[in-house]
């Protein structure tokens, strides 16, 4: 038997992915995020696929995994609301505010989260922080605005880099680019998100404060801890 202290990070992701099933409402469509932790959730969701109508997905990668496992995927435009959205995070603070977008899916994640009544974050304990900003903040930008937005973050003390993939700028599912901003201490996530979202050329900023988590299933050495905000 595995002792709690010997959980690997991968095992913690599996534990929280499985624990999230308790928030899935039978007969409904579930909102599904993106990332390695969500992949564990998708695999677990497949075990109860007969009990749900399907999913709204936040990325091409999650859509492919859902479909491969036989879970129907609906377009976000075909639903008016979702009972729950389940997604990971790169950082989560004590108010349920998060940094997301390490997997470059932040814009669609925010759209699906906005459709949901409840955001359930699934994360291992390494993601918990007091102040957001140690993880480089992802910002999805229209390519022609990248240098301008880079200078604005630099003026705030940020160290900004254009995310690359295979020697070229990474292109998101929406055809845009990602800036990663290091060196920020985001003490007022609501105000930060509101301000940065209004800069011309910003598609989405990876601070999820207006779409914060309502519940976090945190994988710890002692097992799954449930945090409510
Ligand atoms: C993708 C995300 C992910 O939720 C975040 O990067 C966490 O990923 P992982 O579960 O692989 O650590 O925001 O855009």
Helix segments in 74-157, DSSP class H: 106-115, 146-155
Q: pLDDT for 63-87, tens place per residue?
A: 999 999 999 999 999 999 999 999 9
Cβ contacts of 79 within 8 Å, gap of 6 or more: 29, 56, 115
Instruction: Yes or no: say if 27 and 49 are a contact pair by the CB < 8 Å rule.
Output: no
pLDDT of residue 6: 79
Which residues lie with the beta carbon below 6 Å from any ligand 1 atom?
33-37, 87-90, 100-106, 109
Which one of the listed residues 109, 140, 147, 193 is annotated catalytic?
109
Q: pLDDT for 110-164, tens place per residue?
A: 999 999 999 999 999 999 999 999 999 999 999 999 999 999 999 999 999 999 9
Q: ∠ CA(122), CA(124), CA(129), 5° rounding?
A: 100
Ranges of beta strands (E only) in the chain are 29-32, 54-57, 73-74, 82-87, 91-92, 98-99, 116-124, 137-141, 159-162, 164-165, 168-169, 177-182, 202-205, 207-208, 215-220, 223-228
Q: Best of 16, 39, 88 to mutate for ligand 1, by most ligand atoms within 8 A of CB?
A: 88
**Residue ranges of the domains in the chain?**
4-129+210-228, 137-203
pTM attached to this predicted model? 0.96
d(CA 4, CA 10): 13
109 is catalytic: yes
Percent over 90 (pLDDT), the chain: 97
Q: CATH assignment of 4-129+210-228, given 3.40.50.1360, 3.40.50.10470, 3.60.20.10, 3.40.50.300?
A: 3.40.50.1360
The average pLDDT across 185-200 equals: 98
Take residue 11 and report the two structure tokens written for it.
């095992």
Cβ contacts of 144 within 8 Å, gap of 6 or more: 201
The residues pairing with 30 across neighbouring beta strands, listed in sequence order, are 55
pLDDT of residue 5: 62
Ligand 1 centre to CA of 37 (Å) is 7
Atom of ligand 1 nearest to the CA of 122: 10
Ligand 1 centre to CA of 90 (Å) is 6
Which CATH architecture describes the domain 137-203? 2-Layer Sandwich (3.30)
Q: Which residue has its alpha carbon closest to ligand 1 atom 7?
A: 89
Distance from chain centroid for Cα 54: 19
Q: pLDDT for 19-30, tens place per residue?
A: 999 999 999 999
Q: Which residue has its alpha carbon closest to ligand 1 atom 2?
A: 101
């Amino acid at each position: 038997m595995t002792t709690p202290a010997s959980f690997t990070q991968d095992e913690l992701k599996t534990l929280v992915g499985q624990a999230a099933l308790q928030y899935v409402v039978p007969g409904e469509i579930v909102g599904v995020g993106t990332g390695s932790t969500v992949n564990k959730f998708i695999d677990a969701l497949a075990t109860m696929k007969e009990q749900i109508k399907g999913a709204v997905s936040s990325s091409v990668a999650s859509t492919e995994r859902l479909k491969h496992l036989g879970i129907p995927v609906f377009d976000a435009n075909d639903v008016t609301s979702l009972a729950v959205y389940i997604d990971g995070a790169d950082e989560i603070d004590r108010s349920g505010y998060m940094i997301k977008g390490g997997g470059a899916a932040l814009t669609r994640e925010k759209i699906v989260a906005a459709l949901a009544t409840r955001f359930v974050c699934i994360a291992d304990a390494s993601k918990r922080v007091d102040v957001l900003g140690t993880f480089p903040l992802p910002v999805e930008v229209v390519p022609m605005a990248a240098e301008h937005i880079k200078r604005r973050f630099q003026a705030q003390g940020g160290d900004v880099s254009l995310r690359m993939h295979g020697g070229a700028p990474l292109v998101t599912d929406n055809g845009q680019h990602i800036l990663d901003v290091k060196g920020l201490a985001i003490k007022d996530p609501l105000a930060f998100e509101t301000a940065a979202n209004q800069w011309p050329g910003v598609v989405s900023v990876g601070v999820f404060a207006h779409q914060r988590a309502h519940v976090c299933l945190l994988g710890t050495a002692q097992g799954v801890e449930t945090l409510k905000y």
